[in-house]
Homo-oligomer: A and B are copies of this chain.
Amino acid sequence: MNLAKSVSVAQPLSSWQDGPSRRAIIDAVDRLTRRASAQFVAPTERVAVFDNDGTLWPEQPAYVQAIFLLDRIKQLAPAHPDWHDREPYVSALAGNLHAVAAGGERALAELAMATHAGMTTDEFETIVKDWMASGRHPHFDRPYVDVVYRPMLELMDWLRASGFKVYIVSGGGVEFIRPWAQSVYGVVPEQVIGSTIELRYELQDAKPVLRRLPQVDAIDDKEGKPVSIQKFIGRRPTMAFGNSDGDLAMLQWTMAGPGARFAALVHHTDGEREWAYDRDSHFGRLDRALDEAKARNWTLIDMKSDWKRVYAFEH
Protein backbone atom coordinates (compact mmCIF):
# COMPACT_ATOMS: atom_id res chain seq x y z
CA MET A 1 0.00 0.00 0.00
CA ASN A 2 1.26 3.43 -0.79
CA LEU A 3 -1.14 6.02 0.46
CA ALA A 4 1.33 8.81 -0.15
CA LYS A 5 1.44 8.06 -3.85
CA SER A 6 -2.32 7.76 -4.13
CA VAL A 7 -2.92 11.30 -2.91
CA SER A 8 -3.56 13.76 -5.68
CA VAL A 9 -1.74 17.07 -5.67
CA ALA A 10 -3.80 18.49 -8.53
CA GLN A 11 -6.44 19.35 -5.94
CA PRO A 12 -4.36 20.14 -2.89
CA LEU A 13 -5.78 19.40 0.52
CA SER A 14 -9.04 17.93 -0.77
CA SER A 15 -9.83 16.29 2.57
CA TRP A 16 -9.74 19.69 4.23
CA GLN A 17 -12.77 21.90 4.68
CA ASP A 18 -12.40 25.21 2.93
CA GLY A 19 -11.93 26.86 6.32
CA PRO A 20 -9.36 29.05 8.06
CA SER A 21 -6.67 26.33 8.46
CA ARG A 22 -6.70 25.24 4.83
CA ARG A 23 -6.67 28.87 3.71
CA ALA A 24 -3.80 29.74 6.07
CA ILE A 25 -1.70 26.83 4.80
CA ILE A 26 -2.41 27.53 1.14
CA ASP A 27 -1.65 31.21 1.67
CA ALA A 28 1.64 30.38 3.44
CA VAL A 29 2.82 28.00 0.74
CA ASP A 30 1.96 30.58 -1.89
CA ARG A 31 3.92 33.31 -0.10
CA LEU A 32 6.92 31.04 0.49
CA THR A 33 7.17 29.52 -2.98
CA ARG A 34 5.89 32.07 -5.50
CA ARG A 35 8.94 33.63 -7.11
CA ALA A 36 7.49 37.14 -7.17
CA SER A 37 6.60 36.96 -3.48
CA ALA A 38 8.48 39.15 -0.99
CA GLN A 39 8.71 36.07 1.24
CA PHE A 40 10.05 33.73 -1.47
CA VAL A 41 12.25 30.93 -0.11
CA ALA A 42 14.68 29.21 -2.51
CA PRO A 43 13.82 25.53 -3.16
CA THR A 44 16.95 24.16 -1.45
CA GLU A 45 16.00 26.10 1.70
CA ARG A 46 12.48 24.71 1.92
CA VAL A 47 12.32 22.37 4.88
CA ALA A 48 9.08 21.27 6.54
CA VAL A 49 9.13 19.28 9.77
CA PHE A 50 6.31 17.13 11.13
CA ASP A 51 5.90 15.52 14.50
CA ASN A 52 4.56 11.95 14.19
CA ASP A 53 2.43 10.80 17.16
CA GLY A 54 -0.77 12.85 17.27
CA THR A 55 0.26 14.85 14.20
CA LEU A 56 0.37 12.19 11.48
CA TRP A 57 -1.41 9.34 13.26
CA PRO A 58 -3.32 8.86 16.54
CA GLU A 59 -1.55 8.61 19.88
CA GLN A 60 -4.68 7.25 21.59
CA PRO A 61 -5.49 4.97 23.32
CA ALA A 62 -1.66 4.78 23.65
CA TYR A 63 1.44 5.55 21.60
CA VAL A 64 1.72 2.88 18.92
CA GLN A 65 5.31 2.24 19.96
CA ALA A 66 4.09 1.56 23.52
CA ILE A 67 1.71 -1.09 22.16
CA PHE A 68 4.61 -2.52 20.16
CA LEU A 69 6.67 -2.60 23.37
CA LEU A 70 3.96 -4.53 25.26
CA ASP A 71 3.59 -7.00 22.40
CA ARG A 72 7.35 -7.54 22.36
CA ILE A 73 7.40 -8.19 26.11
CA LYS A 74 4.76 -10.88 25.60
CA GLN A 75 6.68 -12.40 22.71
CA LEU A 76 9.94 -12.46 24.65
CA ALA A 77 8.51 -13.54 28.01
CA PRO A 78 8.87 -17.32 27.51
CA ALA A 79 12.64 -16.86 27.34
CA HIS A 80 12.63 -14.72 30.52
CA PRO A 81 10.92 -16.70 33.32
CA ASP A 82 12.05 -14.10 35.86
CA TRP A 83 9.76 -11.52 34.24
CA HIS A 84 6.64 -13.30 35.49
CA ASP A 85 7.00 -12.14 39.08
CA ARG A 86 8.96 -8.93 38.66
CA GLU A 87 7.89 -5.35 37.92
CA PRO A 88 7.63 -3.62 35.56
CA TYR A 89 7.27 -6.87 33.62
CA VAL A 90 4.21 -8.13 35.52
CA SER A 91 2.30 -4.97 34.65
CA ALA A 92 3.58 -5.04 31.08
CA LEU A 93 2.54 -8.67 30.64
CA ALA A 94 -0.89 -7.77 32.00
CA GLY A 95 -1.03 -5.06 29.31
CA ASN A 96 -1.45 -2.46 32.02
CA LEU A 97 0.27 0.61 30.63
CA HIS A 98 -0.97 2.82 33.46
CA ALA A 99 0.66 0.59 36.06
CA VAL A 100 3.85 0.61 34.01
CA ALA A 101 3.72 4.40 33.81
CA ALA A 102 3.32 4.54 37.58
CA GLY A 103 6.81 3.01 37.77
CA GLY A 104 8.15 6.19 36.25
CA GLU A 105 10.75 6.75 33.57
CA ARG A 106 13.00 4.07 35.00
CA ALA A 107 10.41 1.34 34.52
CA LEU A 108 9.67 2.53 30.99
CA ALA A 109 13.35 2.71 30.13
CA GLU A 110 13.88 -0.84 31.41
CA LEU A 111 11.05 -2.15 29.25
CA ALA A 112 12.25 -0.12 26.28
CA MET A 113 15.75 -1.51 26.47
CA ALA A 114 14.53 -5.08 27.07
CA THR A 115 12.53 -4.87 23.85
CA HIS A 116 14.47 -2.48 21.62
CA ALA A 117 18.13 -3.33 22.28
CA GLY A 118 20.47 -6.31 21.99
CA MET A 119 19.74 -7.15 18.37
CA THR A 120 21.38 -5.75 15.22
CA THR A 121 19.83 -2.85 13.31
CA ASP A 122 18.91 -5.23 10.48
CA GLU A 123 17.19 -7.61 12.90
CA PHE A 124 15.27 -4.78 14.53
CA GLU A 125 14.09 -3.54 11.16
CA THR A 126 12.65 -6.99 10.43
CA ILE A 127 10.96 -7.11 13.85
CA VAL A 128 9.30 -3.73 13.25
CA LYS A 129 8.23 -4.59 9.71
CA ASP A 130 6.72 -7.90 10.83
CA TRP A 131 4.87 -6.26 13.68
CA MET A 132 3.52 -3.44 11.52
CA ALA A 133 2.38 -5.98 8.94
CA SER A 134 0.51 -8.11 11.49
CA GLY A 135 -0.59 -5.69 14.23
CA ARG A 136 -3.98 -4.00 14.25
CA HIS A 137 -4.98 -0.73 15.85
CA PRO A 138 -6.90 -1.64 19.05
CA HIS A 139 -9.65 0.92 18.46
CA PHE A 140 -10.17 0.71 14.70
CA ASP A 141 -9.20 -2.95 14.19
CA ARG A 142 -7.24 -2.04 11.08
CA PRO A 143 -3.53 -2.21 10.24
CA TYR A 144 -1.65 0.67 11.85
CA VAL A 145 -0.46 1.91 8.46
CA ASP A 146 -4.10 2.59 7.54
CA VAL A 147 -4.79 4.60 10.66
CA VAL A 148 -2.99 7.74 9.54
CA TYR A 149 -4.45 11.19 8.99
CA ARG A 150 -5.39 11.54 5.36
CA PRO A 151 -5.36 15.39 5.47
CA MET A 152 -1.76 15.31 6.69
CA LEU A 153 -0.73 12.88 3.94
CA GLU A 154 -2.21 15.33 1.45
CA LEU A 155 -0.34 18.18 3.11
CA MET A 156 3.02 16.36 2.99
CA ASP A 157 2.46 15.42 -0.64
CA TRP A 158 1.54 18.94 -1.56
CA LEU A 159 4.55 20.41 0.23
CA ARG A 160 6.84 17.98 -1.59
CA ALA A 161 5.22 18.98 -4.87
CA SER A 162 5.91 22.59 -3.84
CA GLY A 163 9.62 21.90 -3.45
CA PHE A 164 9.81 21.24 0.29
CA LYS A 165 11.95 18.56 1.85
CA VAL A 166 9.56 16.94 4.30
CA TYR A 167 11.03 15.58 7.54
CA ILE A 168 9.51 13.67 10.41
CA VAL A 169 10.88 14.82 13.79
CA SER A 170 9.45 12.41 16.33
CA GLY A 171 9.92 11.62 20.00
CA GLY A 172 9.49 7.99 18.94
CA GLY A 173 12.41 5.76 18.06
CA VAL A 174 13.86 6.58 14.66
CA GLU A 175 14.31 2.90 13.83
CA PHE A 176 10.70 2.21 14.78
CA ILE A 177 9.47 4.72 12.17
CA ARG A 178 11.92 4.40 9.27
CA PRO A 179 10.96 0.87 8.13
CA TRP A 180 7.47 1.99 7.02
CA ALA A 181 7.70 5.80 6.71
CA GLN A 182 8.50 5.68 3.03
CA SER A 183 5.54 3.52 1.98
CA VAL A 184 3.05 5.14 4.39
CA TYR A 185 4.13 8.79 4.48
CA GLY A 186 6.37 9.04 1.42
CA VAL A 187 9.24 10.05 3.73
CA VAL A 188 12.59 8.40 2.99
CA PRO A 189 14.66 7.03 5.92
CA GLU A 190 17.18 9.89 5.82
CA GLN A 191 14.34 12.34 6.42
CA VAL A 192 13.11 10.62 9.56
CA ILE A 193 14.58 12.01 12.78
CA GLY A 194 13.70 10.47 16.13
CA SER A 195 14.98 9.28 19.46
CA THR A 196 18.05 7.07 19.26
CA ILE A 197 19.88 4.48 21.32
CA GLU A 198 23.61 3.87 21.10
CA LEU A 199 24.90 1.62 18.33
CA ARG A 200 28.12 -0.38 18.25
CA TYR A 201 29.92 -1.48 15.11
CA GLU A 202 31.09 -5.06 15.48
CA LEU A 203 31.89 -8.18 13.52
CA GLN A 204 29.42 -11.09 13.73
CA ASP A 205 30.80 -14.17 11.99
CA ALA A 206 33.27 -11.86 10.20
CA LYS A 207 30.40 -9.72 8.92
CA PRO A 208 30.04 -6.12 10.08
CA VAL A 209 26.84 -5.42 11.97
CA LEU A 210 25.53 -2.54 14.07
CA ARG A 211 24.43 -3.75 17.51
CA ARG A 212 21.67 -1.82 19.31
CA LEU A 213 22.90 -1.14 22.85
CA PRO A 214 20.67 -0.61 25.91
CA GLN A 215 21.75 3.01 26.34
CA VAL A 216 19.84 6.10 25.32
CA ASP A 217 21.69 8.30 22.83
CA ALA A 218 19.23 11.18 22.35
CA ILE A 219 15.59 11.82 23.21
CA ASP A 220 14.03 13.77 20.37
CA ASP A 221 11.30 15.50 22.34
CA LYS A 222 10.73 19.01 23.72
CA GLU A 223 14.05 20.94 23.70
CA GLY A 224 15.61 17.88 22.08
CA LYS A 225 13.72 18.60 18.85
CA PRO A 226 15.51 21.82 17.84
CA VAL A 227 18.78 20.18 18.89
CA SER A 228 18.09 17.22 16.58
CA ILE A 229 16.98 19.49 13.77
CA GLN A 230 20.28 21.38 13.97
CA LYS A 231 22.30 18.18 14.25
CA PHE A 232 20.58 16.31 11.43
CA ILE A 233 19.38 19.00 9.05
CA GLY A 234 21.73 21.85 9.91
CA ARG A 235 19.27 24.52 8.95
CA ARG A 236 16.15 25.97 10.40
CA PRO A 237 12.81 24.69 9.07
CA THR A 238 10.51 26.93 7.07
CA MET A 239 7.36 25.16 8.24
CA ALA A 240 6.69 23.14 11.37
CA PHE A 241 3.70 21.00 12.34
CA GLY A 242 3.08 19.46 15.75
CA ASN A 243 0.25 18.76 18.18
CA SER A 244 1.55 18.86 21.74
CA ASP A 245 3.78 20.60 24.26
CA GLY A 246 6.51 18.21 23.11
CA ASP A 247 6.55 20.15 19.85
CA LEU A 248 6.62 23.63 21.38
CA ALA A 249 10.40 24.13 21.22
CA MET A 250 10.44 22.91 17.60
CA LEU A 251 7.78 25.45 16.65
CA GLN A 252 9.50 28.24 18.61
CA TRP A 253 12.84 27.48 16.98
CA THR A 254 11.26 27.41 13.54
CA MET A 255 9.40 30.70 14.00
CA ALA A 256 12.37 32.54 15.56
CA GLY A 257 14.32 32.36 12.31
CA PRO A 258 14.69 35.33 9.97
CA GLY A 259 12.24 35.74 7.11
CA ALA A 260 8.83 34.18 6.70
CA ARG A 261 7.95 30.93 8.48
CA PHE A 262 4.82 28.97 9.29
CA ALA A 263 3.79 26.91 12.30
CA ALA A 264 0.65 24.93 13.00
CA LEU A 265 -0.70 22.61 15.68
CA VAL A 266 -3.15 19.78 15.15
CA HIS A 267 -5.80 20.24 17.85
CA HIS A 268 -7.57 17.01 18.79
CA THR A 269 -11.16 18.21 18.96
CA ASP A 270 -13.01 15.31 17.40
CA GLY A 271 -14.25 12.88 20.04
CA GLU A 272 -16.28 10.96 17.48
CA ARG A 273 -13.93 10.27 14.59
CA GLU A 274 -10.77 10.46 16.70
CA TRP A 275 -10.27 11.69 20.26
CA ALA A 276 -10.87 15.03 21.95
CA TYR A 277 -8.14 16.08 24.37
CA ASP A 278 -5.66 18.83 25.09
CA ARG A 279 -4.61 20.35 28.43
CA ASP A 280 -5.39 17.38 30.69
CA SER A 281 -4.31 14.47 28.52
CA HIS A 282 -1.71 11.98 29.65
CA PHE A 283 -0.54 11.37 26.05
CA GLY A 284 0.18 14.35 23.86
CA ARG A 285 -0.72 17.08 26.32
CA LEU A 286 -1.39 20.39 24.59
CA ASP A 287 -1.29 23.16 27.17
CA ARG A 288 1.58 25.66 27.01
CA ALA A 289 1.80 25.24 23.24
CA LEU A 290 -1.94 25.99 22.96
CA ASP A 291 -1.45 29.27 24.82
CA GLU A 292 1.58 30.16 22.74
CA ALA A 293 -0.17 29.30 19.47
CA LYS A 294 -2.99 31.66 20.39
CA ALA A 295 -0.61 34.41 21.54
CA ARG A 296 1.52 34.19 18.39
CA ASN A 297 -1.21 33.50 15.86
CA TRP A 298 0.08 30.07 14.88
CA THR A 299 -2.51 28.07 12.97
CA LEU A 300 -4.64 25.75 15.09
CA ILE A 301 -5.91 22.88 12.98
CA ASP A 302 -9.29 21.92 14.42
CA MET A 303 -9.70 18.26 13.51
CA LYS A 304 -13.45 18.34 13.92
CA SER A 305 -14.19 21.41 11.85
CA ASP A 306 -11.15 21.54 9.52
CA TRP A 307 -11.06 17.96 8.24
CA LYS A 308 -13.73 16.52 5.93
CA ARG A 309 -12.34 13.10 6.63
CA VAL A 310 -9.71 11.90 9.06
CA TYR A 311 -8.58 8.54 7.64
CA ALA A 312 -8.03 7.28 4.14
CA PHE A 313 -10.38 4.35 4.86
CA GLU A 314 -13.35 6.71 5.23
CA HIS A 315 -15.13 7.09 1.93
Contact = CB atoms under 8 A, between A and B. Distances in A.
Contact of A227 (B200, B223, B232, B256): B200
Contacts of A199: 227, 230-231
Of the candidates A175, A217, A232, the one having the most CB atoms from chain B within 10 angstroms of its own CB is: A232
A296 interface: no
Contacts of A217: 231
Contacts of A252: 208
Nearest to A225: B201
A189 interface: yes
B165 A201 contact: no
B190 A233 contact: yes
A200 B192 CA distance: 21
Contacts of A249: 201, 208
Interface string A214-254: 00010000011011001111110000000000000100110
A188 B224 CA distance: 23
A52 B80 CA distance: 47
Chain A interface residue bracket vs B: 20 to 34
A234 B201 contact: no
A252 B208 CA distance: 7
A269 interface: no
B223 A253 contact: no
Contact of A234 (B190, B233, B253): B190
A235 B201 contact: no
A226 B253 contact: no
A77 B36 CA distance: 48
Interface string A246-282: 0001001100100000000000000000000000000
Given A47-B190, A174-B234, A196-B231, 11 more contacts: A44-B182, A178-B234, A189-B233, A190-B235, A199-B227, A200-B227, A201-B227, A208-B226, A208-B252, A208-B256, A210-B227
21 contacts: A44-B188, A165-B190, A174-B234, A189-B233, A189-B234, A189-B235, A190-B233, A199-B231, A200-B223, A200-B227, A201-B223, A201-B226, A201-B227, A201-B249, A201-B253, A208-B252, A208-B253, A208-B256, A210-B227, A210-B230, A210-B253
